[in-house]
Amino acid sequence: MDISEVIKARRAELGLSQGQLAAAAGVSLRQLARYEAGEQQPVLSAAVALADALDISLAQLAGQVSYSLDLSGDWWCAWQTWKDGTPRVDTHYLAVVQRGDVLHLDADRALPVEQGSYRWRGELRLWDNEALIGWYRSTDAAVRSKGSLYLALHPHGNQAHGRWVGMSYDGPVITGWGAIARSEDAARGVVQDLINPES
């Protein structure tokens, strides 16, 4: 795809009119129409503004990198964790909304707060359709848990596994295995296999 096609396709995907995109990128409507018609290429400053307004990278705007994986939708996540030194695996529902190469995460609790679980939100960035790197934080007022996530994405985009590092009930810096998958059983199974690779 060339720049004109990327701009048109991404604008349509986001449901933006030409006027809305032009305003968000700080370019004139006439200039945007020229970009979309392929009559003119944006200068670097305009390209940066357009990429930001379209929530994509410059490489994506130039048609050099394609993030054809759509990871939006219903997922399940599983995490190796502890409460008062007792290990366990928590699984819970995870809603994912993808915008370009950024995934916005919104997770339910696995258990009540008193049992060491919490609602959380986070963000992951998709790198080269291979890795998801980002952060999470509790959205339950009484819980201070927060941290970072690194997940290796399966080539088919149906699951990812890796590690979380963060603050928990059992310490200010702890880590464990984690996974996301399209079903609760798949997510739990991936984490169990990571914890006990011989079983």
Q: Please give the distance of CA 198 from its chain centroid, rounded to a whole number.
A: 31
User: Residue 54: what pLDDT?
Assistant: 92
* Residue 143 predicted with pLDDT over 80: yes
C-alpha distance from residue 51 to each of 48, 63, 86 (Å): 5, 12, 47
Q: Which of 27, 61, 95 is the last residue of a domain?
A: 61
Sign of CA dihedral 169, 170, 174, 175: negative
Radius of gyration of the chain (CA): 20
Domain-located, residue 67? no
Residue 10 and residue 105 share a domain? no
Given pLDDT bands bounded at 50, 70 and 90, which one contains residue 67? low
Number of structural domains, the chain? 2
13: helix, strand or coil: helix
What is the extent of the structural domain holding 43? Answer: 3-61
Is residue 151 domain-shared with residue 180, that is, in the same domain? Answer: yes
**Same domain (yes/no): 133, 180:** yes
Are 54 and 78 in a shared domain?
no
In a domain? residue 68: no
- Give me the CATH number covering residue 53: 1.10.260.40
Residue 197 confidence class, pLDDT cut points 50, 70, 90: confident
Domain annotation covers residue 66: no
Global pTM value = 0.67
Report yes or no: 25 and 10 within 8 Å, Cβ to Cβ: no
The reported pLDDT for the residue numbered 65 is 64
- Sign (positive or negative) of CA dihedral 129, 154, 185, 187: negative
Q: Has residue 1 got a pLDDT over 80?
A: no
Neighbours of 172 (CB within 10 A): 8
